[in-house]
Structure formats: structure tokens, C-alpha cells
Amino acid sequence: MKESLYSHISTVRKQAPLVQNITNYVVMNNTANALLAIGASPIMAHAHPEMAAMQKICNALVINIGTLDEYWVESMLIAATEANHNNKPWILDPVGAGATPYRDEVLSRLIELKPTAIRGNASEIQALAKLNKTQTKGVDSTSVSTEAVQAGQILNKTYGAIIVISGETDIIIDGDQQVKIHNGNALMTKITGMGCSATAILAAFIAVIPNKTEAAVAATALMSISGELAARYSNGPGSLQVNILDKLHSIKEQEFEETLKISI
């Protein structure tokens, strides 16, 4: 697997998948820019009358509940249902799972529609699996990713979704496979929406890479390695946000391979 990861990055650049995003207001600009930087094509849309048509033209769908409300929840349910009808992959980002009963109720309806993959931090994955034993603190994680492995395995087994747990160590769970990526930089937690960008990138990779486990690993590695490399010449979270976009666009095979720390 390790040898083919960079080739998947090249494939995304070549195939330029169209990713529809129903995501939160906070991150939309950065998410669109992250998708453009990796060579994908973003579209943000949520109007009920165009959800079915969008699922026909897009190659993957992101559903991120960060700033949900009743109208947007309905958009999400329509879009996920239509994605399933059209055999398009869709990725769930359960932002703030466990923070309020409303979020949990919405997530329980979305997860029944069987997302292709789920990406969240440890707290969110634990909340989603109803295994959360610590108090969730808004949208930031209060657990480390390794604590959420059991939760991720339950979710994978129950719903069939590939699980990506973001953290100091990123963990990808799919059936018996468990891959860990030890890249990234702590300063990334001081930028909003890094996880949301990771989810959108995951969608782009799953859209065009036939081996979906490898797609998830390549997408996750690309994000974490870009953050790690960009942090080397950033003065703080503001410049890191900018430099990650530059690096997502310019990253080359040699620096990717040399930086990658992976356990399979």
C-alpha cells in the first residue's frame, strides 16, 4: 500500500473529481480552496430543488453538520439518499457530535443512510458510537485518537463505513485493516476547519481511487504531511493556513515519501 499512495495523489490531479459539499459556513472558503489545491473541483450547494440534479453530475458528496439547521438537515438527507440512488460515494463529517441532543438526533438519521466513510476527531467518533465517556467540549476533541479505535471499529462493523479518526496520530479503520499515520503538527489544531478540509480531500480521493481503503490512507497522509511540511516555515496559525494550501498544491513525490510515517 505504502508504495502506491503518491500515485493516488497523481490520479486525483489527473481526474479532477467534482465534489459537492453541504458543509458549514465557517470552513467553506478553505474547503473549496483545499479541493482546488489538490486538483479537484468543488461545488457548494444545498437548495432542495437542486439536490437530485447535483448528485447526477458530482463524483462524491461531503456532508458536514458543523452549522446545521432544519433546512440544511433536509438538504443533507435528500442529498445522501440521492447519492445512494446514483451509487456516488458520500462522506460524513460529524462535527460536534455529542455536543447537543439535536446534533446526535440528526447524526443518527444520517448514519442510517450508510456513508461510504466517516471522518472525525476522537470525541466525535466516540460520541457517534455512543461510547463517549468524557464530556464533549464543543467541536474540539477531548480524547486522543487511539482511545476512539474501539468506537471506530464498532461504527465500521455496524454501518460498513471506512472510519478516519484524526488526531496526533490519524487512524484509518476498514474491516480488519488498521493504518496509522504519524504525521502532522500540533499547530494545525489552532486553525479552524483542518478536519473539514481533510474530509473534503477524503471525498475527492474516494471518488476516483477504486481501492477505497487506500484512497482514505492517501488522502489522510496528504493532509497531515502537507501540514507538517508547511509548519516548518510558518509563524503561526494564520500563515500555516495559507501555507498548507500552497503545499497541498505543490507537494512532490520525493518530499511526500521522505516525510510519510505510516504503520500498517
Residue 57 makes contact with a second copy by CB under 8 A:
yes
5-44 binders of a second copy (CB under 8 A): 18, 20, 24-30, 32-33, 36-37, 41-44
69-88 binders of a second copy (CB under 8 A): 69-71
* 20 within 8 A of 207, measured Cβ to Cβ: no
Q: Which of 53, 112, 211, 257 binds a second copy (CB under 8 A)?
A: 53
How does DSSP classify residue 146? G
Q: Name 248's Cβ contacts closer than 8 Å, sequence gap at least 6.
A: 34, 37, 38, 201, 222, 223, 226
Residue 133 makes contact with a second copy by CB under 8 A:
no
Known binding residues for substrate are 44, 193
In this complex, which beta carbon is closest to a second copy, that of residue 242 or of residue 264? 242
185-244 binders of a second copy (CB under 8 A): 189-193, 234-239, 241-244
Q: How far apart are CA 139 and CA 161, in angstroms?
A: 22
Laid out side by side, the sheet with 162-166 consists of 41-44, 18-22, 60-64, 90-93, 117-121, 162-166, 170-174, 177-181, 262-263
Instruction: State in angstroms the smallest separation of the CB of 149 from a second copy.
Output: 24
DSSP secondary structure of 240-260: HHHHHHHHHHH--HHHHHHH-
Q: Is the dihedral of CA 115, 121, 122, 123 positive or negative?
A: negative
Whats the size of the chain, residue-wise?
Answer: 264
From residue 87 to residue 126, what is the string marking binding to a second copy with x (rule CB under 8 A)?
Answer: ---------x--xxxxx-----------------------
Q: How far apart are CA 227 and CA 183, in angstroms?
A: 8
Judged by CB under 8 A, which stretch of 1-9, 84-92, 159-167, 184-192 contacts a second copy? 184-192
Residues forming the site for a second copy (CB under 8 A): 18, 20, 24-30, 32-33, 36-37, 41-50, 53-54, 57-58, 66-71, 96, 99-103, 136-140, 189-193, 234-239, 241-250
